[in-house]
Structure 1
């Protein structure tokens, strides 16, 4: 038994309690004393300090100054035969005597919000709380857990490992919450581990490496309430200046060098002199060097890059010219900042982990730190620089509370399809952890070179809070015009669309202040569908309440070379979804498959009922049912809280009558214009025969115009447009436009004008919302099956006798549409999971009866058989940022590499020791993807049954330097340790993503 196990104990029986001046004091039979603070309605703090020192303000991220003692003073305590019950507002905090567990009971709901399963566990360096977990309780938070937003059945680490790919953790946030609407914020900066049912499906096991148990319990009636209370403790999200929503460029214009290249080289860039160049790190090869203002050669300068964006018709909003270089000439930086400002571009500075020496023109800072002291100092310096303007700081990491100081901006390696779904889920996880302002560099940093990945990455990131490129870190240029003219045009169109949606995005940033995430998982808008809480929809997100984005996440193509999209889920069978670009309408509550999207077309859907303000009171409406939108605006840089305006628009469609109301604008700011025109563009399916417009209850005479030109010159009137588009930048890609009723109102005082519009005989989406009719003439399928030869851990193939062109398949209660032929493979399934199915034939709007249920269980995840906790040693030094532990951490996003190379005389020797004698099946060497400068090409393998004495396993192996995994069969091998020797590699180092050893499956059952 270890010393830690001897010291570890549970909290003993509750033996006494006292009410002090601002807290309750609880005494336990094991000698501990705890304090309970009642800070506000639904915010409680439980603080247990074994040393009994109780430093109430030990936290660096919790602000207690805003709380008074009123809720504590109003609380009442009573003792029963077995419990202490503290009553506050509608909550009962029930402390059981033996065992010493706590329950929080909500009298309004008549149920417990949370219950401890067993007493808190304590040791000299660790504390653990175990909560009861309910079957339909899902868990969120924990910071940016790359690749995940929903944690039920998983263990997450509360740490920062700086791994940007799947399984990495970029922000250390000891805060989680459940859909049952309770949350916890552990008041500690130590690392931890949260087990949400992986070890015990009935328990959430919450551990931190701290001797203190200091936690805040947060209770509310919605996720918004929980996040708002988290912000009350740690600070509201930063309100950025408007330019932060524009396109950014981060580069190194101080030490980057260029050498002549050729057009045929994938990483070659053509410059203004008509020649091609590639980046180099060898000064002997370089004939061009970057600079800020053209001190070397102008075309390689930061000024030239600003010019280039302008020449390519990309509006650049902000630029960082010194990425990864701390030293710079202040005079040259000032000169560059002035030049950027003259082009309406904001210039900022990069800093490693200290406050930089800012120049007078510096408008923002990008940093690698989350240290509150440094960030506070950065903000003070920027405030002094900017006078009344809002400071802006980007950071590539974060802790609890950093949302009030920074926007999270990072770059992964790039050039990999897997990065897209990983980042979508990670962004959602960050949003649910209180960090709504987030973005990642388009196409990553050092990787790249795949135009299709780059274009698809730019498209979906145009719908995220931050959009920027991070250049000069690898072989490939990352600008939005780095590829051919076709790709450049697509990127330009998406940037212009983002600019159109700026008022919508800015409104979402306002709403983030009160707990509404900007990027939202589907369950926040559609909480009654269980699928929306699960990883099945982790590759999709809502941008606010109105837009659903489902990025292209793989390179699969149809016969025409278009991206093929399967598993696209649109929620709620009562909701109509409209393709943003072509206007096609879809019924919600089902999964769509076999959709095709050309390169310009991202799957983006407008929710029925949506209202958009495109700026300057130019509204677009997609009527369905009753909906409301409040838009916000300010001058973009001053104090927003007291200097902004808000406008409410409501739309109500009942039967064929549509009523739209625009209330008078509330508020003011110093450049606000009270006189404004109003334009409405109302999507519809046909000509409505009645229009009434009232302003302040007075009917306005509205003239109808018959052509686009006459309507364009009119001050007031309406026009039925059968060729309407509010995104002209995409008109080049499609001939068919949409239909809209356009209404134009002359200038009026919008702070004193209530506008009411009634449209009769209005139709939009009526046919879409009609459900399929069961036809008795279509016989029910009687032979659909799952092909037993095509079952894997993540896929199943269904086959059926073809009777109609299309079928629908219900999978675990969810309808899948768009399936044709006689077979279909479902991808992206969960391992070792039962999938129950039914199938029916489809003929136009008629369907057959369902087949009898059938189904199958996916195979177990191969990673279940991977050996964990391997002790690895090496005879060579590893790179600091790519340590040896990354080689066996079972995270493919991390990479290990050596400092030096190998030779026949001095081979690399890697020894892998297991915790016990293992029956092995195979070993896999996973090469790194960024390049192939460190692939082993001559290798030997040895085995050991005692961990000390090794013997060769087979002959020396020769491996190709490529992206394929290198598999060594180890069937019937027993080993306590394995050794790999690398005699030759493809480059000056040895590198890998992972080495995985698998045990035999029969020994893991």
Structure 2
């Protein structure tokens, strides 16, 4: 039955969905706004009814995602595109929504136009385009999305514009709203329009292309589909499509006319509207119901509705094209297969697939449910889609098609279509889908788990690194503490020998239980696979695709310090600042902090003097210059953008950007773009390197930014869960990953010292003051803490060449400096699971086991197979064992060195560049043949990207005697030393019989004081760490091989 709905001409609201295409200009429009100036137009007013500082904004960005909807909603696909109005209460409230509900507070607000002159307009039609998504949970009784019209800005006539759209409905095709507001606005000199969100907690409302026009005499429009939503449908064999039409004109429609439906470019349906018998008066709507159609054979349908009425004066609203998709569909049987060079094209009914090999060990499975391939992420995440000459063959194996490269095999099973990955011999399964992909509102891949398979990745997941048997959410949120997700990434890797990266910004959920399931909230599948078989090879492939971890300047390995020092002489903004930051102005950081570091002989690296909401800065140029004299580089914290970065970097000399959650909180593409802009802002305005800190990272963030864990309180639990957090971040190639030393809240002397100790064995870290009762500098608690903290910070400075070399390795390969035990011991079953989550390797040679309890010992330290040395005592022990009750007083971090280690060290210094590095200490723990390839560059500029660096291979060969070779440096860079002194520290329980350097016999010294004064020679100290041979050379050329023989 066709239903005729009579609506009041004056108050009727029309909703007409439009195609995203340019329409012929409406000649009757007399006022319009498309927000093309990228800011709120003059005269527009935000009215915050909630009194919570909630406002409408003009933006060209997507809705960021928020509580209960952790994904981005694309910007409205309006006629003009570009900038538009957005209201985002869901994002503003986010995870505080339960608190708002409890208090019965609502984010009510409207945006209001300036006065509009409608004088001499006998009729007024309001047009605008909109998309929205609202949550009806806990909604107030009068909740709604309404448009108001007023002639005085006080008394309003409101129109509901939800159009009976159900809560939580995804809307991608914009609705073209038409409201006849003539009763209020016609012939009025002053008219105001408002858009009013009230009574709902979330999520968003997008509005664009607002117009006022006079009405046409004859104007029929197609409003919206009424039989289906855009997604989440269930299709059958006798489905009746229906669409709502509207008479927008001032004249009654009295003649019959046809409304047509073209389904999937094939089936044509048609219905005659009996307007002769049932005339359509102005403002009336009519629901057109089409004959039954079989929609069950496809999971997605393209639908185009159209009407044709002679004399219609506005054809722009006579069509509606959209896609409707099923809630869930499964991929069917293979109907076509063809291999063309590096790409296999596969059809399964209407679904199309591409299997693209970019190189022999990297391939992509890409699905288009309707046959149209899309890549919403573009090149934002993937660095390059370049093909690197894979060698492929395909063979029909009966039940499956085999696609074979030199590294692996992809099986394409036929009935139904399923994928599997095997090794190159096609005999050993690496992964295999247990059922076909399902797609719809989300796309889900299901696999079987191997009995001994472990999983890592997912970005920075606070408190976790090994995921077997768990569920992992690939979405931002859940706070900053244990279980929070400050920097997720749609990537995982498996001990079975592969990694997988979903090329999307849509949120996901990965289940690593007996049945593996990997889903993302999008109606497409786009996944890159990386064959190892080692985890290091997988990380190499992942970062080759999504970008290598950035190489920070060398000074960035030193400690960072942050607070706000621009609160004003009287702390005028204290009502807006709940921390404990000092009053004063930016230059006060010099005497309050920088000079204190100097007085306490404390190592340092950089300072953020404006880290606090609303802080700002004064006299930045002179402050930066004075800080640099004291060994500090300077950076800036930002809460809302980097519009001043050219001046701050190019003129003042700022070299760090810390991006607060107030700016990058939307996450996903928004945060990735922000990190890129800040990173490039530093590099574009100086000849130096970008150094950025951020949260809300994603796949690809590693190429621009340090990721940190968020704002937390310092305590023992904080230390505990941060250890697996940083380990896990590294397993997603987030090499620069950390948390604030002892948190920003709370904390104490013991937890500060313990936290600083182990973070000295990670690449980057900082402390942030201003939010706890005590500030967070390493000297703040006095003795013995100051001395202990200095000891570890100086050790970190000494280890700079060792750690910097591994940061370069990370830049080259994606392998992090802070390494889970499984990266170095992949076949050791103890290292694969959570048993070793509270220890890690710093590079290949140093095992760090932080103390995370309030006690002077450490239990459950696992030493893998091999010989290990206690760093402090020099005691050797055999591995494949657990240490319990290891004595660890406050000044002692459990630290072990792997036999065979070669560890280069610079002189003790308090900041990068304080002293020359023309003497290089090399600590050697002899064991068979071993080597270390020392990396050096100028530590500051971007010359390293164009071969401005040198590598020095240091080799040790222990048989009867020990032969140490310091090979000639390969490569050059600005400021490179031409010669240096080598100070060898060889761990040995026995004194040598003789030491030869380049064939020359060295003098032995029995007295340490005399050895220290000597230019060359060697000295054996049996009491030092159970025996160390000290060898001192003269200045030797770095361009020549240097050979040292220690004879026993």
Give TM-score, length-normalised by structure 1.
0.67
In structure 2, the residue corresponding to 1:617 is in which secondary structure? strand
Q: Structure 1 257/157 Cα, relative in aligned 2: closer, same or farther at 3 Å?
A: farther
Following superposition of structure 1 onto structure 2, how do residues 338-353 of structure 1 map, counting pairs within 5 Å? 338-353=625-640
Aligned to 1:320: 608
Q: Distance in 1 between matches of 2:829 and 2:534?
A: 16
Matched-pair contact (CA < 8 Å) for 2:857–2:887: yes
1:189 aligns with 2:487: no
Q: Distance in 2 between matches of 1:308 and 1:404?
A: 34
Q: Distance in 1 between matches of 2:969 and 2:635?
A: 35
Aligned to 1:935: none
Q: Number of matched residues?
A: 698
Match of 1:17 among 337, 341, 349: 337
String of CA shifts for 1:783-826, please: whole Å, max 9, x gaps: xxxxxxxxxxxxxxxxxxxxxxxxxxxxxxxxxxxxxxxxxxxx
Matched-pair contact (CA < 8 Å) for 2:455–2:468: yes
Matched-pair contact (CA < 8 Å) for 1:248–1:317: yes
Q: How big is the shift at 1:57?
A: 6.8
In structure 2, the residue corresponding to 1:527 is in which secondary structure? coil
Q: Distance in 2 between matches of 1:336 and 1:576?
A: 50
Q: Structure 1 390/711 Cα, relative in aligned 2: closer, same or farther at 3 Å?
A: same
Q: How big is the shift at 1:373?
A: 2.8
Q: Structure 1 526/23 Cα, relative in aligned 2: closer, same or farther at 3 Å?
A: closer
In structure 2, the residue corresponding to 1:143 is in which secondary structure? strand
Aligned to 2:978: 674
Match of 1:473 among 771, 794, 806: 771
Q: Distance in 2 between matches of 1:245 and 1:372?
A: 23
Matched-pair contact (CA < 8 Å) for 2:480–2:486: yes
String of CA shifts for 1:315-345, please: whole Å, max 9, x gaps: 321000111335624x522222122122221
Q: Structure 1 397/290 Cα, relative in aligned 2: closer, same or farther at 3 Å?
A: farther
1:711 aligns with 2:1015: no
Aligned to 1:86: 403
Q: Distance in 2 between matches of 1:429 and 1:186?
A: 18
Aligned to 1:503: 801
Q: How big is the shift at 1:56?
A: 4.5
Aligned to 1:148: 464
Q: How big is the shift at 1:20?
A: 5.1
Q: Distance in 1 between matches of 2:860 and 2:762?
A: 22
Aligned to 1:33: 352
Matched-pair contact (CA < 8 Å) for 1:326–1:350: no
Q: How big is the shift at 1:23?
A: 2.9
Matched-pair contact (CA < 8 Å) for 2:362–2:541: yes
Aligned to 2:835: 536
1:167 aligns with 2:483: yes
Following superposition of structure 1 onto structure 2, how do residues 573-722 of structure 1 map, counting pairs within 5 Å? 575-615=866-906, 616-638=919-941, 639-641=943-945, 642-654=947-959, 656-693=960-997, 695=998, 699-722=999-1022
Q: Structure 1 7/171 Cα, relative in aligned 2: closer, same or farther at 3 Å?
A: same
Q: Distance in 2 between matches of 1:623 and 1:530?
A: 27
Moved more, 533-542 or 247-256: 247-256
String of CA shifts for 1:578-624, please: whole Å, max 9, x gaps: 22122233321111112222110111111121111113332111122
Q: Structure 1 178/715 Cα, relative in aligned 2: closer, same or farther at 3 Å?
A: same
String of CA shifts for 1:170-210, please: whole Å, max 9, x gaps: 1121000101220110011111110001xxx1x21101111
Following superposition of structure 1 onto structure 2, how do residues 490-889 of structure 1 map, counting pairs within 5 Å? 490-513=788-811, 514-556=813-855, 563-572=856-865, 575-615=866-906, 616-638=919-941, 639-641=943-945, 642-654=947-959, 656-693=960-997, 695=998, 699-724=999-1024, 738-760=1026-1048
Aligned to 2:654: 362
String of CA shifts for 1:868-914, please: whole Å, max 9, x gaps: xxxxxxxxxxxxxxxxxxxxxxxxxxxxxxxxxxxxxxxxxxxxxxx
String of CA shifts for 1:421-464, please: whole Å, max 9, x gaps: 2111011110001111112111001222x321111111111111
In structure 2, the residue corresponding to 1:128 is in which secondary structure? strand
Q: How big is the shift at 1:484?
A: 2.6
In structure 2, the residue corresponding to 1:372 is in which secondary structure? helix
Q: Distance in 2 between matches of 1:131 and 1:250?
A: 46
Q: Distance in 2 between matches of 1:287 and 1:111?
A: 60
Q: Distance in 2 between matches of 1:705 and 1:90?
A: 57
Q: Distance in 1 between matches of 2:602 and 2:407?
A: 55
Aligned to 2:744: 445
String of CA shifts for 1:132-153, please: whole Å, max 9, x gaps: 2101110000011111110000
String of CA shifts for 1:233-273, please: whole Å, max 9, x gaps: 111110100110011101111238999xxxxxxxxxxxxxx
Q: How big is the shift at 1:465?
A: 1.2
Matched-pair contact (CA < 8 Å) for 2:1002–2:1018: yes
1:307 aligns with 2:601: no
1:127 aligns with 2:443: yes
Find runs of 4+ consecutive structure 1 residues off by over 4 angstroms: 2-6, 256-259, 279-288
Q: Distance in 2 between matches of 1:284 and 1:748?
A: 57
Q: Structure 1 234/709 Cα, relative in aligned 2: closer, same or farther at 3 Å?
A: same
Q: Structure 1 258/159 Cα, relative in aligned 2: closer, same or farther at 3 Å?
A: farther
Q: Distance in 2 between matches of 1:184 and 1:362?
A: 38
Q: Distance in 1 between matches of 2:399 and 2:821?
A: 43
Aligned to 2:130: none
String of CA shifts for 1:918-973, please: whole Å, max 9, x gaps: xxxxxxxxxxxxxxxxxxxxxxxxxxxxxxxxxxxxxxxxxxxxxxxxxxxxxxxx
Q: How big is the shift at 1:281?
A: 5.8
Q: Structure 1 22/541 Cα, relative in aligned 2: closer, same or farther at 3 Å?
A: closer
Matched-pair contact (CA < 8 Å) for 1:291–1:302: no
Q: Structure 1 64/526 Cα, relative in aligned 2: closer, same or farther at 3 Å?
A: closer
String of CA shifts for 1:665-723, please: whole Å, max 9, x gaps: 21111111122222211111122324344x2xxx2122112211222222222111235
1:374 aligns with 2:678: no
Give TM-score, length-normalised by structure 2.
0.64
Matched-pair contact (CA < 8 Å) for 2:382–2:503: no
Matched-pair contact (CA < 8 Å) for 1:22–1:69: no
Moved more, 338-347 or 146-155: 338-347
Matched-pair contact (CA < 8 Å) for 2:950–2:970: yes
In structure 2, the residue corresponding to 1:456 is in which secondary structure? helix
Match of 1:423 among 722, 737, 745: 722
Q: Distance in 1 between matches of 2:610 and 2:576?
A: 19
Matched-pair contact (CA < 8 Å) for 1:181–1:221: yes
In structure 2, the residue corresponding to 1:229 is in which secondary structure? helix
Q: Distance in 2 between matches of 1:61 and 1:662?
A: 43
In structure 2, the residue corresponding to 1:427 is in which secondary structure? helix
Aligned to 1:99: 416
Q: Distance in 1 between matches of 2:880 and 2:861?
A: 11
Matched-pair contact (CA < 8 Å) for 1:25–1:34: yes
Q: Structure 1 208/242 Cα, relative in aligned 2: closer, same or farther at 3 Å?
A: same
Q: Distance in 2 between matches of 1:284 and 1:511?
A: 42
In structure 1, the residue corresponding to 2:992 is in which secondary structure? coil
Q: Distance in 2 between matches of 1:417 and 1:591?
A: 23
